[in-house]
Structure 1
Amino acid sequence: MPGYIISLTLFAALLHASWNALLRGGTDKLWSMSIMCVSIAIASVVIALFLAPPAKASWIYAGLSAVLHVGYNLCLVRSYQMGELGQNYPIARGSSPLLITFAASIFAGEKIAMPTLAGIVLISSGIVALAFRGRRLAAPGLPYALATGCFIAAYSVADGIGVRLSGDALAYTVWMCALWGVMMPAVYISLRGTTHLFTLRPGFILSLIGGLVSLLAYGIVIYAMSAAPLGAVSALRETSVLFAALMGYLFLGERLTPRRVLACGVIALGILIIG
């Protein structure tokens, strides 16, 4: 995998952990996620005005990914309502790289070298290990965290195929994100109403900023998937849990135990093998 792809994906991982920390720290996580998506939709539409649309062959994948992103958002919010960032986030992110590798081999015809596969396994194992408490995986939001991982795998494969058919990674990203950014607030309005969504409250500006950070982070990942194996890109992206564990410790009062430090070392070894 090219060094610049690795560097970009690791930068995206840092951005990804940042907006997840913002979401986990909010008092009304569904509202925060919906405001983030409003920001994503506005930014995506503005950028799309200056670009030619992606190739028609990619449109169905953009639409499918947008729907899957809404499911991902709902499961992610629910998992954060029930447990810690440092516990549910690793389960969600750690379960997806192997799922993506397997799905990409079936639907995208990808073949992956054994050393790269070994690196993916190490990264996934280290990520999931971050969620353990002693010998138990006692996460209150475990079913939702696992469902989140399945949604991540599904939309990642859809986007990996879609961006390769699109002819333009940036155009594909903003079209897909514009659809997703509109769908999520629509779901919120159906649950709580329009007035409730646009009521100013603490965290409004941070949520808007979080949406822009999320857009940039996933845009980088989609670009990386256009040039590198989906499973390897996903594994590198999920190293965001390293940053999330540190942010949870520094800003959210969560613990950083010796077991977590060891798990971070396993993840780092996986990154070196992929690199």
Structure 2
Amino acid sequence: MSDWIVSLEGTEAGHQLAMMLALSAALLHAFFGALQKGRHDPWLSRGVIDFCYGLMALPFALFVVPWPEPHMWPIFAGAFVIHTAYKLAQGYTYTFGAYTVVYPVVRGTGPLFAVIGAGIVFGEHFTGVQWAGVFTLVAGIFGLAVYNLRTITVGRETMMPALMLAVLTGAFVALYTTYDAYGIRATADPFTFLAWFFLIDSVAFSVIAGLRYRSMAERPALGPLFSRGVLGAVVAFFSFGSVMLATRLDKVGEAAVLRETSTVFAALIGWLILGEKVGPRRLSLMALIALGAVIVEMGG
């Protein structure tokens, strides 16, 4: 399969597959966010998910994919630092702010920075039409955040630091998207990068969650927690793996923008599964996000 993926790089078939992978990642990322939003402590949920996908990656890294080339180890070290910082920023963002407000800010800031980063690192350049699509998508996402901010009644006193943290987290999203795209392109086999990334990335928050669990006065039952962890790990594998393969096959900026349609999918999940109200204004903003993604794709 690796040879087939590599053979599609830079081709029209590769472009089409990258688009499908990025949209699949968006849908799966929305499910991933909903899992972290559940009844368990978000730090524990994230740690258990990381622990589970580390265990799943271990046999693939050791026995299935080719061993990483020597120059990949510093790249993995950089990815470990960036992703740990991102998850810490995200954890504090969700701690201080309402999920429905800060999540769109994180996801709206990410693609804007990622497109700029891809231009600097990979020499990618968007057309004027594509930039119009980026700003349309970002306007819809931030509009959704503002709309949700106006409707919340609790936690408003911590909303300003939460929004600042959300912008910082969005910057980390752009940073890891660009850096990981560099990493997956630096190895001959893209699945080598994915397997070893998941194994190495699982360490930090597994330890953090274990320490947090030990310090709790009332510890949650491990069965339901690990059930959520296994499900989240599978979703993370396919979500992150899909968008990373998309950045190897085609433009990093386009993949980053298409992935942020996850905000639309998150709202649809909240409406169809969680029973949340959507209303005409949120529907209009969701349509604006989707329109921005279409403009980016059609303007390329």
TM-score when normalising by structure 2: 0.82
Q: Distance in 1 between matches of 2:226 and 2:36?
A: 11
> Based on CA coordinates, which of the two structures has the bigger radius of gyration?
2
SS of the aligned residue for 1:167 comes to coil
- Counterpart of 2:116, as a letter, is F
- Given candidates 85, 105, 121, the residue that maps to 1:107 is 121
The corresponding residue for 2:3 is: none
The corresponding residue for 1:163 is: 184
The corresponding residue for 1:142 is: 163
Distance 1:128 1:267, change over 3 A: same
The corresponding residue for 2:141 is: 127
- Given candidates 47, 50, 53, the residue that maps to 1:34 is 47
- Given candidates 71, 74, 88, the residue that maps to 1:74 is 88
Between 104-113 and 148-157, report the one with greater CA deviation: 104-113
The corresponding residue for 2:59 is: 46
After TM superposition, give the deviation of residue 194 of structure 1 in Å: 9.2
Paired residues in the alignment total: 275
Distance 1:62 1:124, change over 3 A: farther
Q: Distance in 2 between matches of 1:169 and 1:77?
A: 29
Distance 1:209 1:64, change over 3 A: same
For the pair 1:151 / 2:172, whether they are aligned, the reply is yes
- Given candidates 3, 11, 17, the residue that maps to 1:4 is 17
- Counterpart of 1:37, as a letter, is D
The corresponding residue for 1:217 is: 239
The corresponding residue for 2:110 is: 96
The runs of 5 or more residues in structure 1 that have no matched partner are: none
- Given candidates 197, 221, 226, the residue that maps to 1:176 is 197
- Counterpart of 1:120, as a letter, is V
SS of the aligned residue for 2:19 comes to helix
- Counterpart of 2:174, as a letter, is A
SS of the aligned residue for 2:92 comes to helix
SS of the aligned residue for 1:131 comes to helix
Query: RMSD of aligned C-alpha atoms?
Result: 2.6
Distance 1:130 1:180, change over 3 A: same
After TM superposition, give the deviation of residue 119 of structure 1 in Å: 2.1
SS of the aligned residue for 1:166 comes to coil
Q: Distance in 1 between matches of 2:59 and 2:71?
A: 23
- Given candidates 116, 123, 142, the residue that maps to 2:130 is 116
Q: Distance in 1 between matches of 2:148 and 2:99?
A: 17
After TM superposition, give the deviation of residue 76 of structure 1 in Å: 2.1
Q: Distance in 2 between matches of 1:134 and 1:83?
A: 11
Q: Distance in 2 between matches of 1:234 and 1:131?
A: 19
Q: Distance in 2 between matches of 1:73 and 1:67?
A: 10
Q: Distance in 1 between matches of 2:149 and 2:177?
A: 31
TM-score when normalising by structure 1: 0.89
- Counterpart of 2:75, as a letter, is Y
> Sequence identity, in percent?
30
Deviations 1:54-101 (A, max 9, x none): 333343232212222122222223333344433221111110111011
Between 182-191 and 207-216, report the one with greater CA deviation: 182-191
Between 196-205 and 16-25, report the one with greater CA deviation: 196-205
The corresponding residue for 1:63 is: 77
The corresponding residue for 1:247 is: 269
SS of the aligned residue for 2:146 comes to coil
Between 130-139 and 167-176, report the one with greater CA deviation: 130-139
Q: Distance in 1 between matches of 2:210 and 2:25?
A: 30
For the pair 1:267 / 2:293, whether they are aligned, the reply is no
